[in-house]
Amino acid sequence: MPINPYNLIRHELIGLRVEIKESSDPTIVRLKGRVVDETYNTFKIECEDGKERTVIKKTCVFIFILPTGERVEVDGKLLVARPEDRIKKKFPRW
């Protein structure tokens, strides 16, 4: 099933481009890059300068850029779970 705004949080996020819109850590706001790894609580993002940064999911609001170019805003609290468990999870109104 192709990724779209309606199935984004139940889809594989590794490889997607991402931008951090809001965060409790002001040093990572507007950070852009590609998701290269995901754990229960964090994303590892490869920034445009080649460095990798680890970002805590629950403290951020992310903007994911889909392969079609669409931009989808997602609260990181919805993403807190192991990737394989998040796929099975039921989300109200998503």
Q: In the CATH scheme, what architecture does the domain 8-86 have?
A: Roll (2.30)
pLDDT, residue 91, reads 64
Residue 94 has pLDDT above 80, yes or no: no
Domain ranges of the chain: 8-86
Name the more confident of 8 and 94: 8
pLDDT band at residue 76 using 50, 70 and 90 as cut-offs: very high
Does 22 score more than 80 pLDDT? yes
| Residue 15, H or E segment | none
- Comparing CA positions, the residue from 59, 53, 73 lying closest to residue 25 is 59
Mean pLDDT of 11-28: 96
Residue 87 banded pLDDT, cuts 50, 70, 90: confident
The sign one gets for the Cα dihedral 52, 55, 61, 65 is: positive
